[in-house]
């Protein structure tokens, strides 16, 4: 699953690093949080370039602007916790540990992709770090995460699960049915809503009669907490708190991450429906800038160290792009594999 790059430039980094290694690198290393957030941003910039150059088919849904949510979750969760996510999942996959080759390769339909090029942009996954193949149907991953929590509940283990979904998902039945179910059994699941203000092309106030998604938790007997999704420290603290609560047997939590996607819904969407100035206002609170500033202010990293991170990530992503472009498409036979146990 964890296809690695064959590169002469830096064999130590590229050939041995697994998704688990990349996940472990985040632990206790806030400079690495910054690096990962920058990596997500750079990878998604390359998605646009690769599309322009004709390497990407189908749809892509960027998460630029939401990097702090992805990385915050990856820091707080254990690799044994099951995570379900939507088709806006490039950031989540990278944060949790999937390599840039795995993500970009999948988006480009190459065999180096994290599921071998069979899925595409909307289906990124690697269960070695807990990530189920991301769900391309709105709301579909929410009950599945609760089901993973049900397994922990039945076996009386302290595993937990996390469902990541958008504000648009909170108007579909699966969301309400699942929160209700999780509320009844006090399942160890954390519901993380990335409220980026738009469900596809429609602003939240036109689709949702409450201002705060977190308020919806009250109907299901669980706490609902609104979180500044642009501040990775806030995200880590909130997810950690909710996971602790889940593991202690106190039940589920709904976390609403207030965030923003810089791009439209998908590649086809220029997002011309956004009011003037809204994007600029959110970019003033860019999650990468916020963390970079904080590391400097708190003297956790020097300007030189941060500049080095920028350079390292730039190089790493360039390496990934080269590896993806050199990777062949999947073998024809792969199309008929893994449909059932008899076709493995």
Partner 1 sequence: MNTTKLRVRQAVLQALNDEMESDPDVIVMGEDIATAGGAFKCTEGLIDTFGPRRVIDTPISEMGFLGAAVGAAATGLKPVVEMMFIEFIGVALDQLTTEASRLRYLSRGQVTVPLVVRASAGAGLGFGCQHSQMLDYWFRGVSGLKVCVASNAQNAYGLLRAAIRDPDPVVVLEPRILYGERQDVVLGEEGIVPLGVARMVAEGSDVTVVTAGAMVSVVEQAAPLLSGTSCEIIDLQTLVPWDKRVVVDSVARTGRLVVVEEGPWTGGWSNDVAAHISAELFGSLRTPVLRITCPDAPVPHSTELERRFLPSPEYVAEQTTQLIETGRTPAPWWAREEKEL
Judged by the rule CB under 8 A, the positions of this chain that interact with partner 1 are 1, 82, 84, 115-116, 118-119, 123, 125-128, 132-133, 135, 137, 140, 142-156, 161, 173-174, 177-178, 180-181, 184-185, 337-341, 344
Residues 6+ apart with CB under 8 A from 257: 66, 69, 192, 193, 194, 195, 227, 229, 235
Alpha helices of the chain — where are they, by DSSP H?
Answer: 11-16, 19-24, 30-52, 67-76, 90-96, 100-107, 141-155, 173-185, 204-207, 232-247, 278-283, 287-297, 303-326
Tell the smallest beta-carbon distance from residue 56 to partner 1 (Å).
18
The span from the CA of 96 to the CA of 20, in Å, is 8
SS (H, E, C) 257-279: EECCCCCCCCCCCCCCCCCCCHH
Nearer to partner 1, 179 or 320 (CB): 179
The phi and psi torsions of 236 (rounded to 5 degrees) equal -55, -45
Nearer to partner 1, 161 or 196 (CB): 161
Written as six digits, the tokens of 1 are 């699953």
Tell the smallest beta-carbon distance from residue 110 to partner 1 (Å).
14
Nearer to partner 1, 1 or 218 (CB): 1
DSSP letters spanning 261-325: -SS-SSTT---TTSPTTHHHHHHTT-HHHHHHHHHHHTTSS-HHHHHHHHHHHHHHHHHHHHHHH
The span from the CA of 189 to the CA of 251, in Å, is 7
Nearer to partner 1, 94 or 150 (CB): 150
Residues 6+ apart with CB under 8 A from 268: 59
Nearer to partner 1, 133 or 166 (CB): 133
Tell the smallest beta-carbon distance from residue 84 to partner 1 (Å).
8
Tell the smallest beta-carbon distance from residue 89 to partner 1 (Å).
12
Written as six digits, the tokens of 89 are 């999942």
Nearer to partner 1, 181 or 214 (CB): 181
Tell the smallest beta-carbon distance from residue 192 to partner 1 (Å).
16
Nearer to partner 1, 126 or 167 (CB): 126
Written as six digits, the tokens of 309 are 């991170």
Tell the smallest beta-carbon distance from residue 80 to partner 1 (Å).
10
Tell the smallest beta-carbon distance from residue 166 to partner 1 (Å).
17
Residue 253 pairs in a beta bridge with: 190
Tell the smallest beta-carbon distance from residue 136 to partner 1 (Å).
8
Nearer to partner 1, 64 or 178 (CB): 178
């Amino acid at each position: 699953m964890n296809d690695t790059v064959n590169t002469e430039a830096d064999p130590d980094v590229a050939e041995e690093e697994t998704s688990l290694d990349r996940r472990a690198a985040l632990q206790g290393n806030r400079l690495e949080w910054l690096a990962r957030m920058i990596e997500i941003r750079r990878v998604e910039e390359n998605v646009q370039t690769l599309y322009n150059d004709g390497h990407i088919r189908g749809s892509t849904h960027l998460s630029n602007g939401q990097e702090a949510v992805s990385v915050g979750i990856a820091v707080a969760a254990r690799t044994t916790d099951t995570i379900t996510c939507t088709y806006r999942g490039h950031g989540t996959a990278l944060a949790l540990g999937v390599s840039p080759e795995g993500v970009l390769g999948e988006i480009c339909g190459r065999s180096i992709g994290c599921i071998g090029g069979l899925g595409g942009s909307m289906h990124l996954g690697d269960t070695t770090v807990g990530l189920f193949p991301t769900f391309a149907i709105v709301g579909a991953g929410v009950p599945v995460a609760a089901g993973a929590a049900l397994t922990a509940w039945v076996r009386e283990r302290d595993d937990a699960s996390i469902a990541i979904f958008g504000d648009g998902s909170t108007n579909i039945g699966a969301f309400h049915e699942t929160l209700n179910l999780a509320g009844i059994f006090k399942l160890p699941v954390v519901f993380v809503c990335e409220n980026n203000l738009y469900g596809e092309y429609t602003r939240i106030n036109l689709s949702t009669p409450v201002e705060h998604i977190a308020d919806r938790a009250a109907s299901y007997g669980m706490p609902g907490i609104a979180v500044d999704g642009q501040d990775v420290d806030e995200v880590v603290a909130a997810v950690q708190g909710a996971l602790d609560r889940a593991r202690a047997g106190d039940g589920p939590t709904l976390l609403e991450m207030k965030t923003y996607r810089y791009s439209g819904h998908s590649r086809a969407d220029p997002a011309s429906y956004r009011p003037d100035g809204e994007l600029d206002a959110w970019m003033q609170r860019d999650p990468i800038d916020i963390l970079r500033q904080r590391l400097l202010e708190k003297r956790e990293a020097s300007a030189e160290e941060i500049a080095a991170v920028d350079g390292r990530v730039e190089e790493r992503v360039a390496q990934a792009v080269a590896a993806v472009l050199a990777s062949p498409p999947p073998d024809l036979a792969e199309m008929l594999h893994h449909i059932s146990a008899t076709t493995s």
